[in-house]
Amino acid sequence: MSASSWFVKCGAAIALPLLVYAAIAAAGPKAPPLPTGRDGALEVLDRYSQGPVPDIVLVGSSITTRLKEEYFDAPNLKTLGLAGGSSITGLKVLIGRERLPKIVLIEMNMLERGEDPALVQRFTANTSTLPYPIRAAVAFYERWLHAPPDRHQADSMVAALLQARPSDFDNRVYLDRAMREWSVPASTADMTRNAATLVRLVKQIEARGSLVYFYSLPYAEALQGSDYARATANIAHATFTNELQWLRLELPIHELRWADGVHLDERSAIVVAKELQKQLLLRNRPLPTQDN
């Protein structure tokens, strides 16, 4: 092999992985981060911060995570539910973008949870870094492998679940555990402080022309009457007193089921999502569609 031929082949061998890296780096910011101990919060926030701004967004905790986007008829709606997180963290990331959704729905179930500074900093700082090529490639693969269903598939799945009977899953072990945890007196100081933070964030959102509504998702009956649930509801309604901003859910409680007394099962989440959408329409604010 001649020296010139060897140099050509060697150069090509070096250039190929560099081109692959450059391609991944160029697309990398769009790649979701790999799953971590934050139970998907990084992926949820990355997907929101990198995608187009939706017309409607639901912001909340893992309770809101159960209300999947395909359960709603509104085509341009996003769910910003953070497992183990709070509405405050999601709202701060939302406010950090140049444009806001037309309608912001805020979950009020978990007032004792405040901001996650690390997540807010990560998704609001104006910094740009190149991704690790292997990490980005695997993340792309994960998104392709677990792509959400298309609209037709989603509608068929929703219809089938609504026609099915409510689950008979025995959740007593998990419900008893939740009851023990919620029997501890609630930290009303934390709730009051976080409610005040929400007031400031809501004012910023409304000042930029968006509509804000509040909602609370139901718990199993045993938890609904707990001191924790009552304290949260009292502080939430004492803080935000405009009843027109509260979406009052009229739900067939006897048909709802919870995996652990707190988080709705799939069929129940669909029922709640449809009711949320109905109550939003009753506010005389038509749900935005792809045409407007």
CATH number at residue 196: 3.40.50.1110
Higher-scoring residue by pLDDT: 10, 256? 256
Total domains in the fold of the chain? 1
**Is there a domain that residue 9 lies in?**
no
**Is there a domain that residue 5 lies in?**
no
pLDDT at 50: 83
**Is there a domain that residue 23 lies in?**
no
Work out the pLDDT band at 37, boundaries 50, 70, 90.
Answer: very low
**Is there a domain that residue 7 lies in?**
no
The residue assigned the tokens 């010139």 is 4
Higher-scoring residue by pLDDT: 126, 127? 126
Q: What is residue 258's DSSP assignment?
A: B
**Is there a domain that residue 87 lies in?**
yes
Q: How far apart are CA 211 and CA 205, in angstroms?
A: 8
- Summary mean pLDDT of the chain: 83
Higher-scoring residue by pLDDT: 156, 288? 156
In this prediction, residues 129-139 reach a mean pLDDT of 52
Q: Which pTM was predicted?
A: 0.79
Higher-scoring residue by pLDDT: 147, 53? 53
- Tokens representing 193? 């402080």
Long-range contacts of the stretch 249-257 (C-beta < 8 A, 24+) = 249/215, 249/217, 249/218, 249/275, 249/276, 249/279, 250/275, 250/279, 251/218, 251/275, 253/218, 253/221, 255/166, 256/166, 256/218, 257/166, 257/167, 257/169, 257/171
**Is there a domain that residue 26 lies in?**
no
Confidence check: pLDDT of 117 > 80: yes
In this prediction, residues 32-56 reach a mean pLDDT of 73
Per the structure, the complete domain to which residue 138 belongs is given by: 31-281
The residue assigned the tokens 């998907």 is 40
In this prediction, residues 67-93 reach a mean pLDDT of 92
